[in-house]
Structure 1
Amino acid sequence: MATDLEVLGQTIKRAQYRNHRAMDAALREIGVSLVQWDALRAIDRMPGASGHELAVTTFQSDQAFGTLAGRLEERGLIRRSSGRGRRVEHVLTDAGVRALTEGRQLARETLEDLFAPLGEAQRRELLRTLRNLTEEP
């Protein structure tokens, strides 16, 4: 019998929703949302990146990322500066680095709980399978 692809898609979405809710709740402890923390992670991985590059990396529109970056800058977590042409570059501040570090510890604990039902071999296989679905051909 063939796998019901609609059920498969909904199950992936349900797992992602569960991950998002758990991470958001954990990160609230340090005063950031998952979306904000994800932006901090992207800026950390790509210091000096443009808003467009960061929007693509964080699955947001340019406008949405610009609004988010403005809030992060107001909170002192990032600094934006003019680059070449109209480019605006982004870097973490010391406060942003602290939030990212604290968030990583909370994320590690939360993800351990989320993936506890799976053994290490199942986790590796799930990661391999999801990469097969999401990596560019």
Structure 2
Amino acid sequence: MATDLEALGQAIKRAQYRNHRTMDAALSEIGVSLVQWDALRAIERMPGASGHELAGATFQSDQAFGTLANRLVDRGLIVRSAGRGRRIEHALTEAGRTALAAGRQVSVGVLHDLFAPLDEAQRGELLRSLRALAEGA
């Protein structure tokens, strides 16, 4: 019997929504949203990255990431500096590194609970399958 691809797509979306909702609620307890924490993770992974590069890495438009970055600057979590040409580079402040570390501590428990229904083999297979889907795009 063929897999119902519409149901599969909806199941992926529901799992993603549950992950986002749960992580956002847990991160709010340390004073950051999931979107903010994701931006901090991207800035750490991509030192000196431009807003355009960070927007792509966080699945946002350039304008949305610019607005988010302004809020992170206002909170003292990141700094922006002039790069080559018109490029604006982003870096974490000490407060940003602290928020990122606190978020990582929170995420460990959340992700453990979210993936608890799957055993290790199922988790590995899910990861391989999702990577294959993402690479196919």
Tell me by how many angstroms 1:136 deviates. Answer: 4.7
Give me the whole-angstrom Cα distance separating, in 2, the residues matched to 1:135 and 1:98. Answer: 32
Tell me by how many angstroms 1:125 deviates. Answer: 0.5
Tell me by how many angstroms 1:27 deviates. Answer: 0.3
Normalising by structure 2, report the TM-score: 0.98
Q: Secondary structure at the match of 1:49?
A: coil
Q: Indicate yes or no: 2:119 matched with 1:119.
A: yes
- 2:24 match: 24
Structure 1 residue identity aligned to 2:127: L
Q: Secondary structure at the match of 1:81?
A: strand
- 1:89 match: 89
Identity of aligned residues (%): 77
Give me the whole-angstrom Cα distance separating, in 2, the residues matched to 1:21 and 1:61. Answer: 21
Give me the whole-angstrom Cα distance separating, in 2, the residues matched to 1:99 and 1:21. Answer: 19
Give me the whole-angstrom Cα distance separating, in 2, the residues matched to 1:136 and 1:52. Answer: 23
Give me the whole-angstrom Cα distance separating, in 2, the residues matched to 1:124 and 1:72. Answer: 34
Gaps of 5+ in 1: none
Query: Where do residues 1-137 of structure 1 align in structure 2 (5 Å cutoff)?
Result: 1-136=1-136
1:103-127, CA deviations, whole angstroms, 9 ceiling, x for partnerless residues? 0010011000000011111100000
Normalising by structure 1, report the TM-score: 0.98
1:64-104, CA deviations, whole angstroms, 9 ceiling, x for partnerless residues? 00000000000000000111111000000000000000000
Tell me by how many angstroms 1:47 deviates. Answer: 1.1
Q: Secondary structure at the match of 2:89?
A: strand
Residue correspondences, number: 137
Structure 1 residue identity aligned to 2:95: A
Give me the whole-angstrom Cα distance separating, in 2, the residues matched to 1:91 and 1:106. Answer: 22
- Kindly report structure 1 stretches of 4+ aligned residues shifted beyond 2 Å: none
Q: Secondary structure at the match of 2:76?
A: coil
Gaps of 5+ in 2: none
